[in-house]
Amino acid sequence: MESTIYLDYAATSPMYPEVIEVMSEAMQTTFGNASSIHQFGRKSRGYLDEARAVFARSIHAKSNEIIITSGGSESDNTAILKTAEKYESLGKHIITTNIEHEAVLKPMKYLESKGFDVTYLPADKDGFVSAEQVKAALRNDTILVSIMSGNNEVGSIMPIAEIGSILKNSNPAVVFHTDAVQSYGSQDIDVDEMNIDLLSVSAHKIGGPKGIGFLYCRENIKLPSLILGGEQETKRRAGTENIPAIIGFQKAVELMMKDKKQRNVYYRKLKEKLINNLKQAGVDLEINGSYDSSLPHIVSIYLKGIDAERLLIHLDLVGIAVSTGSACTAGNVDPSHVLSAMFGVEHSAISETVRISLGLGTTEKDIDKVVIELSKIIKRLK
């Protein structure tokens, strides 16, 4: 096999070399428990505090509003389950969408089994949910709204600021959570301007290590800890902090913030090149969702008449890695719930769609190779 091409960054990203470097050094030199009062603990605590400040600045929050977690799933579960637990006496109605990540949808299903009433707002054919839909669904007993910032399969960007404004002006007691795991690396986020109360982030989507993330929690919202045990994270998340991973996460955030605008422009250029060149090669395709209003690194392509699973296998054999959708549902025989919500369960796009996602290291030569190989494979499969 010749050189491989990785185009599944929405599933996970390789770590920046700089991240690996600082983590390797930290694993050798920084082993103290950040809760210990001796010099080894104080050294770790210093790194923890510094990283927390960097995370906070990246979303215009305060340092004491950042809770270190094991990643997006824990952050989502904490935000949803513990908000429901804390505010249950005020109401049992929750609003979300039908295209959220499973880390949101499964906690919602769990809460339904406990007597909560969850409204799943339907996405339109472009994968969008409007602020007006949220407003129309609000009730006197609504306690939580959870809407993802950007969709992980089709890249649709939700009107988070508009939703936040509606909630602040009409229902200020409602807690507003957004899963920003897929959008954090490319979108500007200001939690105060956008009126966000809870926000989930994961490091491995932005060139950081796996198993680390954070939950932003507005300081006036005191959620109980999801994990019971020690009093780390000011009693908000039990468990000894993984300092090397936190240091690596900090470095990834610093690199992300340094060149985010340039990367976004570059990714959009690559996406345009990919789509135009595929069309010029005679590939019969449609873009799922809105091309112009999507995350810059994600494109979902409906390849008419081509079974996506077979296509992925052929691409893998020539060293090209793409996806049919969320890697978190790999092995699941059920069709994509996102595409099903957008098109209906019988639409052929559900089984004939590939997701291509760009990231660190993707080049124009990679796109050229993908176009050539994809075109050849499609002709063979047809």
Catalytic residues: 328
Dist. CA 284–CA 120, nearest whole Å? 33
The values of phi and psi at residue 379, to 5°, are -65, -40
Asked if residue 303 lies in contact with residue 339, where contact means CB atoms within 8 angstroms, the answer is: no
Residue at 133: amino acid letter: Q
List the 353-357 sheet strands across, edge first: 285-288, 298-303, 353-357
Phi-psi region of 224 (alpha: psi -120 to 50; beta: other; left: phi over 0): beta
Amino acid at the residue 22: V
Q: Which residue has the tokens 């906690």?
A: 107
DSSP letters of 52-87? HHHHHHHTT--GGGEEEESSHHHHHHHHHHHHHHHH
Strand partners, 287: 301
**Inter-residue contact 288 to 335 (CB < 8 Å):** no
| C-beta of residue 94 within 8 angstroms of C-beta of residue 292 | no
